[in-house]
Structure 1
Amino acid sequence: MIFYHFGEYLLLLKKVFKKPEKWKIYWKEILHEMNEIGVGSIGLIVIISTFIGAVMTMQIAFQLVSDLIPNSIIGQINRDSNILELGPTISALVLMGKVGSSISSQIGSMRVTEQIDALEIMGINAAGYLILPKIVAGVVMMPIVVIIAIFCALVGGLLGGSLTGAVSAGDYIIGIRESFKGFTMVVAMVKAVFYGFIITSVPAHKGFHVRGGALEVGQAGTRAVVIGCIAILASDYIITALLL
């Protein structure tokens, strides 16, 4: 069954990446999806990332109580943790729940109400028209969302450390600036691109092939989020193993 669904997924992607009939129509859809997927999720990502950064700072300070360890190391650990792991992965998991379920339900509803069948009868590549703009928007907007998440996590760590007295603002800023490796941001952006593809393509596949009625649409949305989260964590491991 796993290979059957994976093969079905690959065949759908083959249809999705066929040459579009009219780029002008696709471009409008891409802009719309960029607003829905990226801009519409920024508020949630800002809140979550800020609190994660604050909590991480307090936990790191609690575990590194030693006269031999400078307080600036707290900012350094928080920076690297958020850039390499927490920023991209937590953002992807959150968006999979928010955006993924929405995509699956939207396309699934169109399938059970036979709107997709009507598009195909008119000679339109339904898979490309409905899914390609979402994938492009996800791949483009996800790195931007991750950059915002990392920035908010670092600011949250600064605020959390200063307010609780876990680390002074000066020591925290020194830690953020010390021994920074630009390659860590490259790894974060590579993860973001892959996550953006997974967040949009996996739910689209589940919604596109749903059969039945409203109940099956809801079940497809649930399965899409579960499978998407597993795919994100698996790709996180693979990318980390290859690049670091």
Structure 2
Amino acid sequence: MDMVLDLVARTGRATLSLIRSAGALALFALAGLSHIMRPPFYGRVFIRTFMETGFFSLPVVALTALFSGGVIALQSYTGFAQYHAQSAIAGIVVLAVTRELGPVLAGLMVAGRVGAAMAAQIGTMRVTDQIDALSTLSTNPMKYLVAPRLLAGMIALPLLVLVADVLGVAGGFTVAVVKLGFSPTAYITATMNSVKVMDVTVGLVKAALFGFLIALMGCYYGYNSKGGAEGVGSATTSAVVVASILLLAFDYLITDLFFSQ
């Protein structure tokens, strides 16, 4: 009986802790969004974060998308050749890249690169009392540190995904033409016939949400870090892990919302 009660108590404590964490995160997100809408706006912080999130993440996202598109074409050919359905490869590549792989892979790359950096930067400011110094200087930390990063994430990631979509399709085209012997003209025609505005739009909507989630996790865990260098390291790890999990979870929810019918 005591073991059962102990199990119930532990489950209850874990549930309450999860609810408290979710509530704190929701309030943090709402505060960050509200400061985006109200002046003053720190444009220099926004531009620096936008460049870090978008431009400097471009090489890793581009290479990931290029090779992923090639892998999809190669693996699709392996399966479809058994049923003489090779002509569907171009459509499969476009569908997979624009709906899923473009937003998801770009999001995961940015989460590992930029989300960790945000958590480390803000966490270091927290443990060295620089955030308290901002408040002393009458600068709202949420407006100066969080709001520009949230906005930069929401704008930069869709632009990265557009590049990833193009390069992913280009990777599939290269493999199909060079290695699998497809006609370039026929492949391009099949690709253009398979592109749908809805697929690209949903992919960009996912990217904007993913950019917000990545920036939110980096800012939240960095802002609430404690315990010196060890605490900053834990915050950085938590930001990347939680952002990646939320990214995949919301990817499923959005896909189910738009494409389950």
Aligned-partner SS, 2:225: coil
Q: Which residue of 2 aligns with 1:89?
A: 104
CA–CA distance in structure 2, aligned partners of residues 3 and 120 of structure 1: 29
**Are positions 1:194 and 2:194 aligned together?**
no
| Aligned counterpart for 2:247 among listed residues 221, 232, 235 | 232
Residues 50 and 153 of structure 2 are in contact (CA less than 8 Å); yes or no, is this contact kept in structure 1? yes
Residues 95 and 194 of structure 2 are in contact (CA less than 8 Å); yes or no, is this contact kept in structure 1? no
- 1:68 Cα deviation after fit: 4.1
| Aligned counterpart for 1:3 among listed residues 19, 27, 49 | 19
Where does structure 1 lack aligned partners over 5 or more consecutive residues?
Answer: none
Q: Which residue of 2 aligns with 1:43?
A: 59
Please list, as runs of the form range in 1=range in 2, the aligned pairs for 1:18-37 lying within 5 A after superposition: 18=35, 20=38, 22-23=40-41, 26-37=42-53
Residues 102 and 164 of structure 2 are in contact (CA less than 8 Å); yes or no, is this contact kept in structure 1? yes
| Aligned counterpart for 2:80 among listed residues 54, 64, 73 | 64
Q: Which residue of 1 aligns with 2:235?
A: 220
1:233/1:166 CA distance change after superposition, 3 Å: farther
**Are positions 1:181 and 2:199 aligned together?**
no
Aligned-partner SS, 1:65: helix
Q: Which residue of 1 aligns with 2:143?
A: 128
Please list, as runs of the form range in 1=range in 2, the aligned pairs for 1:65-214 lying within 5 A after superposition: 65-66=81-82, 68-69=84-85, 71-165=86-180, 167-214=182-229
CA–CA distance in structure 2, aligned partners of residues 158 and 2 of structure 1: 46
AA matched with 2:89: I
Aligned-partner SS, 2:57: helix
AA matched with 1:22: P
- What is the RMSD of the two structures over their aligned residues, measured on CA atoms? 1.5
Residues 56 and 157 of structure 1 are in contact (CA less than 8 Å); yes or no, is this contact kept in structure 2? yes
Q: Which one has the largest radius of gyration?
A: 2
AA matched with 2:77: A
- 1:123 Cα deviation after fit: 2.3
Aligned-partner SS, 1:64: helix
CA–CA distance in structure 2, aligned partners of residues 240 and 210 of structure 1: 33
- TM-score, normalised to structure 1, is 0.94
1:67/1:195 CA distance change after superposition, 3 Å: closer
- 4+ residue runs over 6 A deviation: none
Residues 119-147 of structure 1, C-alpha deviation per residue, up to 9 Å, x if partnerless? Answer: 11222210221011111111011111000
Using the aligned pairs only, state the percent identity: 31
In the comparison of the two structures, how many residue pairs are matched? 241
- 1:159 Cα deviation after fit: 1.1
- 1:29 Cα deviation after fit: 1.6
- TM-score, normalised to structure 2, is 0.88
